[in-house]
């Protein structure tokens, strides 16, 4: 509709009166939606139908070219004569919570379309079964409606655009199109100074409105290149190959303009800003704008879920195992980042993890059986609380771990990823180092581990293999070899679930 107003303004400024547009009557009628914004629909969404038996009429004798939902027949769709007056459903793109509005005023289809465009967005499109159910529920909220039928935005016509585009937008004046009398053949379309369209004979002479093809825009995901997870910052770029002087960009999320985002590159955070993104560019010269890009869906690919109920640690464990797979185990910095993203949406100050302390063995482990190698404790004191505070949780703010009593009631994070069996191999090694090297220094240990890992991978160790030092009962990794003691290589194999 914005493009329509722009063309109308150009015609009025030029003072040309009536002018040709590129619409003419063809020979192949087809069903299409009144809301013509192609960015509103993803693949195949324009093809959703919910016809009743015997509909649509394959040989309509009386112009049954508009569609209504039959309120008293299971909410199925029927083709009807467009001049019939029914109640109708509008779509309001500015209200994502209640997008459908039932208008309990009887109008013919064309007048209903005009009302919806003037007061909301357009007559309702139905892209899938979910939206069909939403519209049914909207109708059911007014059970005393006297109409058997309710108009929606689906219609059939044979009008075609000269450039071959498939836009279903129409802006007819009252009583149009009437195709003229049998000998007039009004099969071409002019625009009036009011902006309304009128059918006229194609051999009439008018000024004409031409257009330049708009530069195309594309949304490109700059980073991350892999799947998106909660806590990820996703960078998007509006790529327009033609011209370089785009001074401002318009970003849309779920068909609504995103306020405050006018740069070519934007960054969004998951899961809060997940949705379908589109963009377009604006410039000073002609053309003054680009086309609007197709939608790109940015959503979580998480195998985690935040449960917003407050439960004890054991109740949370049982819930996750009954409804998902398990309480989440955080075995890497990447999983920690995903957990932090989910925890921000919790209603409790901390969120349970699948972390517990064994009083008998004196160490922390995950419920999936994996030893705690990676950790993110708020302090050493939290890790050393022992049996009094024997389970772990992550903070909603900051994402650090704390130890708590298992009787606390908190939100919790479950995983939907089934455990996988991995092979763990323990190998004793002997290092010869200079006397001044402190092997108890964590930085020194990390440097040796990195060098060993690279050498082993060069010799065929799988790229996703992880190396860690195993601490001895006294807490140390290395012990000095006693004089005369022979070196004995020891390898142990273990299988564990992760």
For the chain, the structural domain boundaries read 2-208, 217-298, 304-415, 423-497
pTM of the model: 0.47
* pLDDT recorded at residue 420: 59
* pLDDT at 491 (0 to 100): 43
User: What is the model's pLDDT at position 484?
Assistant: 55
pLDDT, the chain, mean:
84
Query: In the CATH hierarchy, which fold is given to the domain comprising 217-298?
Result: Immunoglobulin-like (2.60.40)
| Mean pLDDT per 10-residue section of the chain, whose length is 498 residues | 73 81 87 87 88 82 84 80 93 87 93 93 93 89 72 92 83 78 74 90 90 88 80 90 90 90 93 89 84 87 86 96 93 87 91 90 83 88 81 94 95 85 67 78 80 75 72 77 53 45
CATH number attached to the domain at 304-415? 3.10.100.10
**Which of 344-380 are b and which e, b meaning 16 or more Cβ less than 10 Å from the residue's Cβ?**
bebebebbbbbbbbeeeeeebbbbbebebeeebbeee
pLDDT score of 424: 64
Backbone angles phi, psi at 183, to 5 degrees: -105, 10
Contacts of 52 (CB under 8 A, 6+ apart): 70, 73, 74, 76, 77, 78
pLDDT at 307: 94
Question: DSSP character for 244?
Answer: S
Predicted local distance difference test score (pLDDT) of residue 17: 83
- Of residues 268, 264, 269, 267, the one with CA closest to residue 293: 264
Residue 372 φ/ψ, nearest 5 degrees: -80, 100
């Amino acid at each position: 509709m914005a493009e329509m107003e722009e063309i109308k303004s150009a015609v009025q400024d030029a003072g040309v009166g009536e002018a040709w547009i590129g619409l003419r009557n063809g020979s192949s009628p087809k069903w299409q939606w009144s809301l013509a914004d192609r960015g509103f629909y993803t693949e195949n969404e324009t093809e959703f139908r919910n016809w009743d038996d015997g509909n649509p009429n394959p040989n309509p004798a009386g112009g049954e070219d508009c569609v209504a939902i039959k309120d008293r027949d299971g909410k199925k769709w029927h083709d009807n004569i467009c001049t019939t007056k029914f109640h109708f459903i509008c779509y309001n793109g500015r209200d994502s919570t209640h997008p459908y509005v039932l208008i309990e005023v009887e109008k013919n289809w064309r007048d209903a379309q005009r009302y919806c465009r003037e007061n909301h967005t357009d007559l309702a499109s139905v892209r899938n079964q979910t939206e069909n159910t939403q519209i049914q529920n909207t109708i059911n909220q007014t059970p005393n409606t006297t109409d058997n039928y309710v108009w929606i935005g689906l219609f059939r016509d044979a009008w075609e655009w000269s450039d071959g585009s498939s836009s279903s937008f129409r802006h007819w004046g009252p009583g149009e199109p009437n195709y003229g009398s049998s000998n007039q053949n009004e099969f071409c379309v002019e625009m009036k100074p009011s902006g309304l369209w009128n059918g006229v004979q194609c051999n009439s002479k008018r000024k004409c409105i031409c257009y330049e093809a708009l530069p195309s825009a594309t949304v490109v995901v700059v980073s991350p290149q892999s799947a998106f997870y909660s806590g990820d910052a996703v960078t998007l770029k509006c790529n327009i190959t033609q011209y370089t002087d785009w001074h401002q960009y318009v970003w849309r999320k779920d068909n609504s303009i995103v306020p405050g985002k006018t740069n070519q590159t934007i960054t969004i955070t998951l899961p809060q800003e997940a949705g379908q993104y589109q963009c377009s560019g604006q410039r000073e010269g002609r053309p003054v704008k680009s086309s609007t890009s197709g939608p790109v869906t940015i959503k979580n690919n998480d195998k985690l879920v935040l449960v917003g109920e407050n439960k004890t640690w054991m109740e949370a464990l049982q819930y996750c195992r009954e409804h998902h797979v398990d309480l989440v185990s955080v075995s890497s910095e990447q999983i920690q980042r995903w957990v932090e993203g989910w925890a921000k949406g919790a209603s409790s100050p901390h969120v349970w993890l699948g972390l517990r302390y064994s009083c008998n063995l004196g160490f922390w482990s995950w419920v999936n059986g994996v030893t705690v190698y990676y950790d993110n404790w708020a302090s050493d004191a939290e890790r050393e609380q022992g049996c009094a505070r024997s389970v772990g949780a992550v903070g909603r703010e900051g994402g650090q771990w704390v130890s708590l009593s298992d009787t606390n009631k908190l939100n919790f994070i479950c995983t939907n990823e089934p455990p996988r069996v991995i092979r763990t191999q323990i190998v004793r090694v002997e290092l010869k180092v200079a006397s001044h090297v402190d092997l108890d220094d964590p930085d020194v240990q990390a440097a040796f581990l990195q060098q060993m890992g690279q050498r082993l991978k060069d010799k065929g160790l799988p790229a996703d293999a992880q190396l860690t030092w195993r601490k001895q009962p006294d807490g140390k990794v290395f012990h000095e070899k006693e004089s005369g003691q022979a070196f004995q290589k020891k390898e142990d194999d273990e299988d564990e679930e992760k």
